[in-house]
Amino acid sequence: MAIGLQGFPRTRQRRTRQAPWSRAMVSENVLKPADFIWPIFVVEGEGKVEPIAAMPGVNRLSIDIAVERVKEAADFGIPCVAIFPNIDKSLRTETCEEAWNPDNLVCRATRAIREAVPHIGVMEDVALDPYSSTGHDGIVRDGRIVNDESVEALVRQGLAQAAAGANIIGPSDMMDGRIGALRDALENAGYQDVMLLSYAAKYASSFYGPFREAVGADATLKGDKKTYQMDSANTDEALREVAMDIAEGADMVMIKPGMPYLDICQRVKAEFAVPTFAYQVSGEYAMIEAAAGNGWIDREKAILESLMAFKRAGCDGILTYYAVEASKMLMTQNA
């Protein structure tokens, strides 16, 4: 029995649950807009809002519209956005050089958002999949994803993003050694303030399906990502990934996907006590939307409950497609 806990009826756990005020008084965790990083998808063009079939309610936005939406997000108190591009198929190559083109879609979006909304943080993904004709996060040679050559490409990509004004770089590629290589390159190039939020424990997951549609990597991906992303059977391995990324210079770490990996979130936070994030990924979003769309769950309650789970597990923040909507809900809840 927990310290100080008496048996029934001296202890009646329901006493503190009896009213909204007493529940609020003893609640152990709070959810707030500052907990959210909002992932958005961008496309070329103007005035464009393109729906994503597997993510109802999430759209690909042209930069002008993205800027407007990010302004709104900042007004709700969301501290950071993560930008993902869907680039033209003709720019996707085996060597992925569009990833470090200083004027690529993501770099232009970053500059536009930094200029128009200077008080929000901008995060970019370092990984080659939106730029690759193979759909992989690294460079493919003879059917293998080659590590060290991929890291060189990822460093070029990261430096281009830093030059465009990215505040946070989020390497999501799971190549070995990329955090150290990026940290050294950023230091040498004078970008010592750029933060690294490492996708440290990223699992080879079926929950990324809708995202791959969003960035247009679903049709191109050959095979799976199991030689670089983690096996869902493993926990200790996640701790080794996190330990190495911190040692190599990561400022913050992420666990991904989110809800199926709450045990990893909890263990990482407990062992390392560093800023710890979870990514509520596209498949988690799609599941909530599908069940709510069928009238099987209460959508808004399920959204907030799913986000609170991350706080309970010890996460300091959550990447979520619900960032803006959840912030609105929290505001009206507290009003």
Neighbours of 228 (CB within 10 A): 18
Task: Report the distance separating Cα 282 and Cα 261, nearest Å.
Answer: 14
- Residue 129 makes contact with ligand PBG by CB under 6 A: yes
CB 307 within 8 A of CB 318: yes
Please select the residue that binds ligand PBG; options are 38, 191, 211, 277, rule is CB under 6 A: 211
In the range 266-305, which residues lie near ligand PBG by CB under 6 A?
281-282
48 is catalytic: no
Shortest spacing between CB 224 and ligand PBG, in angstroms? 9
Percent of the chain that is helix, strand, coil (3-state, to 5): 45, 20, 35
Single out the segment in contact with ligand PBG by CB under 6 A; choices: 56-64, 71-79, 208-216, 303-311: 208-216
Shortest spacing between CB 161 and ligand PBG, in angstroms? 14
Nearer of residues 213 and 248 to ligand PBG, judged by Cβ:
213
Nearer of residues 191 and 211 to ligand PBG, judged by Cβ:
211
Secondary structure tally for the chain: helices H, strands E = 11, 12
Single out the segment in contact with ligand PBG by CB under 6 A; choices: 43-51, 207-215, 241-249, 297-305: 207-215
- Find the catalytic residue in 222, 225, 256, 328: 256
- Residue 241 makes contact with ligand PBG by CB under 6 A: no
Single out the segment in contact with ligand PBG by CB under 6 A; choices: 123-131, 183-191, 296-304, 307-315: 123-131
Q: Which residue pairs, CB below 8 angstroms and at least 24 apart, start in 311-315?
A: 311/29, 311/30, 311/31, 311/35, 312/28, 312/29, 313/262, 313/263, 313/265, 313/266, 313/269, 313/278, 314/265, 314/266, 314/268, 314/269, 314/270, 314/276, 315/255, 315/265, 315/269, 315/276, 315/277, 315/278
Please select the residue that binds ligand PBG; options are 35, 98, 124, 125, rule is CB under 6 A: 125
Neighbours of 137 (CB within 10 A): 28
Q: Which amino acid is at 43?
A: V
- Find the catalytic residue in 48, 89, 202, 222: 202
In the range 179-198, which residues lie near ligand PBG by CB under 6 A?
none
- Residue 307 makes contact with ligand PBG by CB under 6 A: no
- Residue 127 makes contact with ligand PBG by CB under 6 A: yes
Task: Report the distance separating Cα 277 and Cα 200, nearest Å.
Answer: 10
Please select the residue that binds ligand PBG; options are 124, 137, 245, 248, rule is CB under 6 A: 137
CB 168 within 8 A of CB 121: yes
222 is catalytic: no
- Tell me which residues are annotated as active site: 202, 256
- Summarize as ranges the residues that interact with ligand PBG (CB under 6 A): 125, 127, 129, 137, 172, 208, 211-212, 225, 281-282
